[in-house]
Amino acid sequence: MIYLDYNATAPMRPEVWDAMREAMLVPSNPSSMHAVGRKARQRLEAARETVAHAVGVWPNEVLFTASGTEANNTVLRGFPDRPLLVGATEHPSILKLALKLGGDVLPVDGQGFIDSGILESKLKALGRPALVSVMLANNETGIIQPIARLSQAARQYEALFHTDAVQAVGKIPFDMGTLQVDMMSLSAHKSGGPVGIGALVLRNDLPIKPFLVGGGQERSQRAGTEAVGLAAGFAKAMEMAQTREWTASIESEMRSLENNIKQNVVGAEVAGEGGIRLPNTSCLLIPGVVSETQLMHFDLEGFCVSAGSACSSGRIEPSPVLRAMGIAEAQAACAIRVSAGWNTKPEEIRAFGESWVKLAQRLGKQAV
Ligand code: PLP
């Protein structure tokens, strides 16, 4: 199989497994006072330091969570007195919850970008300090939002600003200082770390309401015994993500793939094309061929790709992200997301392009 679904989850880096194995084979409750507990505490704090260093904050500004989803939910539920404003193309762990909590949505343009003028006018109309959440990089299209510009606009209205940086880890350089945000969500498994751990990075003077209540772990802000082994793996993945050694060659291969498809398949389009995007992500639309048909073909040919994230109980709905960008429902139903990563070989992307042209030939959609 050729795996091109890194935005869903990335294969674990072997070094991550080594780091985890060592920490997981011993009992690890960092709250225990004995020598074994103290060793666990040491490992946990070393991991926290590495994650903090990778995003340019102090270690006490990193709270470990069980996922990016938990970090996102914690933020949205953490400031109940503030009205919520979130991007229209956010991950469901932001968008669904924000709508449930009565939040408002910031529209995007045809490429998927949020306009700082629209943010400002919504904040002005609210007339009181809000909580704004806009993702750094989109999981379906790879579009990278102008976070620093948006957070500067938000600050004029005393809003708090959160960014979901889950998809940016290991793909582009970023840190809390340059983005000028108050909070950030991370997840380990999109860049070669383990599934089941993420982090909420927050300025340490922020009075966030804890989401999980119980023991006094994570400075009483996130109850539950800390997953030391997973934290060690997360730290190793964050450390390795800093080099991004694979991104330059993969980006040029992905852009060639896009050009190849556009030239060879009638009506093919790239969502968000022309905008600043992640180096590893392409969202390709082939009008008239629904995602299910394409996925079936690629599955038979040995490729793992995705129809976008709008897949629930096995049924694929047209992607709300693409719909928010103004793409018609019928066209959005024909999207495929291809996402590469640290272990992708350029020839795998080329093979995928060839398979696509083969599908187009079979369906009579090959350009002449
Ligand atoms: N945010 C974005 C942009 C994502 O792509 C994902 C996962 O797909 C998440 C949040 C959720 O992260 P996790 O799988 O760690 O809950």
Mean pLDDT score across all residues of the chain? 95
Confidence of residue 309 (pLDDT cuts 50, 70, 90): low
pLDDT at 304: 97
pLDDT at 74: 98
pLDDT at 316: 66
Q: Cα of 281 to ligand 1 centre, how many Å?
A: 15
CB-ligand 1 contact for 74 (6 Å cutoff): no
CA torsion through residues 116, 53, 250, 352, sign: negative
Three-state secondary structure call for residue 263 = helix
CA torsion through residues 48, 243, 349, 141, sign: positive
pLDDT at 368: 66
Highest mean pLDDT among 210-224, 226-240, 294-308: 226-240
Q: Cα of 74 to ligand 1 centre, how many Å?
A: 14
CB-ligand 1 contact for 218 (6 Å cutoff): no
Tokens for 322, please give them. 């693409």
CB-ligand 1 contact for 310 (6 Å cutoff): no
CA-CA distance, 266 to 321, in Å (whole number)? 23
Q: What is the mean pLDDT of residues 39-67?
A: 97
pLDDT at 255: 97
Q: Cα of 37 to ligand 1 centre, how many Å?
A: 31
- The pTM of this model reads 0.96
For residue 135, which atom of ligand 1 is closest to its CA?
3
Q: Cα of 298 to ligand 1 centre, how many Å?
A: 24
Q: In angstroms, what CA-CA distances link 238 with 50, 168, 332? A: 7, 11, 33
Query: 283 an active-site residue?
Result: no
- Determine the residue of 135, 138, 167, 171 to mutate for testing ligand 1's pocket, defined as the one with the most ligand atoms within 8 A of the Cβ atom: 167
CB-ligand 1 contact for 341 (6 Å cutoff): no
Confidence of residue 365 (pLDDT cuts 50, 70, 90): confident
- 58-62, 156-160, 263-267: least confidently modelled range: 263-267
Query: Of 13, 9, 22, whose CA–CA distance to 229 is shortest?
Result: 22
Q: Is the pLDDT of residue 310 over 60?
A: no
pLDDT at 317: 79
CA torsion through residues 224, 229, 230, 231, sign: positive
